[in-house]
Structure 1
Amino acid sequence: MAGTFDRADEVKAFDEMKIGVKGLVDAGITKIPRIFHNPQATVTNPKPPSTLTIPTIDLRGGVFESTVTRKEVTKKVKDAMEKFGFFQAINHGFLSRSWRR
């Protein structure tokens, strides 16, 4: 029956059910429906690229005392949040609870 698969019709039927993927999971499906298959997608390298680096922002050195330094750090934070959504702050002067014990 693979030759009679009409993806558009199945997507439309799925949308009309209005249950979404959570509804499928709640119903106990055991196989991913064909409408979610992408035969053109291939994974050539399942490992994430190792070139990704987490933006690191150094908060040492008068961040709060110097207007120039504060503006530079603010720009770095803004850039990191816009490009990555997160960053690592170093030399912030705070220790996590696990380190203080």
Structure 2
Amino acid sequence: MAATHSDKAPDQAEPRYDRESELKAFDTSRTGVKDLVGSRVSKLPYRPTALIFSILIGDLQGVHEDSSKRKEMVCRVCQACEDWGFFQVVNHVIGDGILSGIIDGERRFHKQESEVKKEL
């Protein structure tokens, strides 16, 4: 006898997965990586697809001289923001002093109490 597509009886159908609700519950319980690690989370929300990705590395060299390259980079950065929320930029003209200030500001933000961070 051939196997059927599902061995479950019709009345034992799997419940419909609600990713949005699960992510919302997960997100509201923590305010960042520090809280995530501190909470000793042992399970992350289910992701139905395999995690195969590469981080966008945005090379800004020549974007001021070549409008097609600039347009392509803007599209790639938008897509990276929508899909992953971050990307890396190389060949920019931001000085080390400014970058250090940004990193210091991030550290100060993450050292704040959870309630203060949630407001922002």
Q: What TM-score do you get using the length of structure 1 for normalisation?
A: 0.41
Q: What TM-score do you get using the length of structure 2 for normalisation?
A: 0.36
